[in-house]
Amino acid sequence: MKSQQRIQEKQKKVRELKQTVDIIKMRSQAAVDDSERIFSELITSMEKKRSEVMELIRTQEKAENELTEEQLKSRQRIQEKQKKVQELKQTVDIIKIRSQAAVGDSERIFTELISSMEKKRSEVKELIRTQEKAEVTVLVNAKPVSPKQLWDWKVWD
């Protein structure tokens, strides 16, 4: 009779631990889901900003091309302004070099930022999993938890 009672107590303890593990899993999954959503929103926002930057660069390049065309027309019409046209060409060249450098820099920065975010995401996932394992270990080694205690914990969270 005592052995059957012990078995029932053990089964009860196992059920309680399973309930506790399920609660921990739900909380962990919610945390993972939240972090994934946040990272996704950040990446989407960065991609939007990148698109905006690229559109600005295309607009700038279009303006530079229009300026170059206007310089050619001016040179053909007015020989006396050749010196000014040369200065404008040099300015356009500097702008192109700076634009190319800006494009390269923005590509590098966005690539590094995305890589960093992906690394952080992995670190957060691993931290959550480690925490989950630690909590489960503590619960497995702990004294039995009553449903009332579980309810109290749930209410406090």
pLDDT of residue 143: 67
Is residue 35 within 8 Å of 121, Cβ to Cβ? yes
- Write the single-letter amino acid at 7: I
Is residue 132 within 8 Å of 24, Cβ to Cβ? yes
What's the Cα-to-Cα distance from 153 to each of 18, 35, 77, 124, 136, rounded to whole Å? 15, 23, 84, 24, 15
Is residue 140 within 8 Å of 17, Cβ to Cβ? yes
Q: What is the pTM of this model?
A: 0.33
Number of structural domains the chain divides into: 1
Low-confidence ranges of the chain (pLDDT < 50): none
pLDDT of residue 79: 73
Domain that holds residue 44: 2-156
pLDDT of residue 117: 93
- HSE-CB at 57 with a 13 A cutoff on CA atoms is 18
